[in-house]
Structure 1
Amino acid sequence: MKIAVVDYGMGNLRSVTKALEHVAGDHAQIVLTADPAIVAAADKVVFPGQGAMPDCMKELTERGLKHAVLDAAREKPFLGICVGAQLLFEHSEEGDTAGLGVFKGNVVRFPKDKMVDGQGQKLKVPHMGWNEMFKVHDHPLWAGISDAERFYFVHSYHFQPDDNITVLESCYPYRFAAAVAKDNIFAIQCHPEKSHQAGLSLLKNFVNWNGNT
């Protein structure tokens, strides 16, 4: 089995690739690639991302990977991570950027007027650090992971899906969609590759996932 990690120059690609290699062992070949043909030929696809969404969309398009990613999202087990997950939505407030439109909905910035904790203290944006994840719906990629497990986040924007596709939520300071899933696609806002054993468990679940929910 071959798993392609899409390299469009934006993202913590080495960490994602190494984490997948660690959990896959001899069960899968992990290939970091900027070649659309290799993405098309892979059995599964991981779509990471880090940085500003306008830059990510620009690089994805200019490197000829946009259609390969869209095709993969239609037909094979697909994991979006951080900005790679955000790119799957129709639109982002970050730079007023059109996304890939795989999911209906928007990516919105944490609003300044709501960034206050229960004690009235201002919360920083970006949301950075460890935070709990709460299960909304069962999903194979969450198998064996405890509810309220902590994962690592770095983001100023978050998903706002139109459809009922949220499977995990986090809170900062209000509940927001932290992972969404539909059919063969799972997209997560945090960084499983930086989230110690829980994150590795999620990645291993992806390696073993056949794309069915």
Structure 2
Amino acid sequence: MKLVIVDYGMGNLKSVTSALRYLGFYDIELSNEFSVLQRADKLILPGVGNYARAMSKINELQLTSSIRQLVLDEKKPILGICLGMQLMGQSSTETAHNTGLGLINGVVESFVRKDLKVPHVGYNQVTPCTNSRLYSALHANPDYYFTHSFRMTSNADIGVTTCIYGEEFVASFEIDNIAGVQFHPELSQTNGLHLLKNFVELF
């Protein structure tokens, strides 16, 4: 099983790699080369930081078309983590309006309620979608570690798992070969490790 972590310069690469190795997955490569991404059995798109800066780096590396081809045309499984999940949507209002990768129908915006402490940091429970692969064999309403200032919403049928932090938002989604999580599974102890294992083995 070859796992390739997409390296565009803004991901939590060491923590994700360490978590996967802890689970016994050792064939892991970090790359932004199309030929390497194409050889992957599964792709992981991490991300930490500003949406506009991340998309700028991805576009500079000509990764947008590469990722879309591999995921949408060749149906290669991919997991987006935190900012990586947000980048998989249509757009974000962080730092003006920015266009994302467009892998799924979702938009990223700031929290509406002004009384909420932002960023949202800490453990929160999620409510998994029906027949979820990501949360397979996990107890009901598991908790995960979040740290984010913007959140995704979607009305599309993309297997949404929700979280409530003052208001409801997309904690994760999963449809066909595409999955994304707003939280950090690599920092979420047993529940996070279980979810990563589920992605590698069930997608």
TM-score (norm 1): 0.89
Quick one: which of 35, 38, 53 aligns to 2:36? 38
Aligned residue for 2:107?
106
Between the aligned partners of 1:6 and 1:138, the Cα distance in structure 2 is: 28
Between the aligned partners of 2:98 and 2:82, the Cα distance in structure 1 is: 16
Task: Name the aligned partner's letter for residue 12 of structure 1.
Answer: N
Matched, 1:155 2:153: no
Matched, 1:7 2:25: no
Aligned residue for 2:91?
91
Fraction of identical pairs, as percent:
38
Aligned residue for 1:52?
50
- In structure 1, runs of 5+ residues without a counterpart are 116-121
Kept after mapping to 2: 8 A contact 1:44/1:76: yes
**Superimposed CA distance per residue, residues 82-112 of structure 1 (whole angstroms, 9 cap, x where no aligned partner):** 111111111101121111111123111112x
Aligned residue for 2:176?
183
Shift in Å, 1:28: 5.4
Task: Name the aligned partner's letter for residue 40 of structure 2.
Answer: A
Task: Name the aligned partner's letter for residue 14 of structure 2.
Answer: R
Task: Name the aligned partner's letter for residue 102 of structure 1.
Answer: L
**Superimposed CA distance per residue, residues 10-38 of structure 1 (whole angstroms, 9 cap, x where no aligned partner):** 11111011111211x1x551111122210
Q: Alignment RMSD, CA only?
A: 1.4
TM-score (norm 2): 0.93
Between the aligned partners of 1:136 and 1:208, the Cα distance in structure 2 is: 19
Task: Name the aligned partner's letter for residue 20 of structure 1.
Answer: L
Shift in Å, 1:208: 0.9
Between the aligned partners of 2:160 and 2:41, the Cα distance in structure 1 is: 24
The secondary structure found in structure 2 opposite 1:140 is coil
Aligned residue for 1:135?
128
| Aligned counterparts, 1:194-213, within 5 A | 194-209=187-202, 211=203
Between the aligned partners of 2:126 and 2:158, the Cα distance in structure 1 is: 16
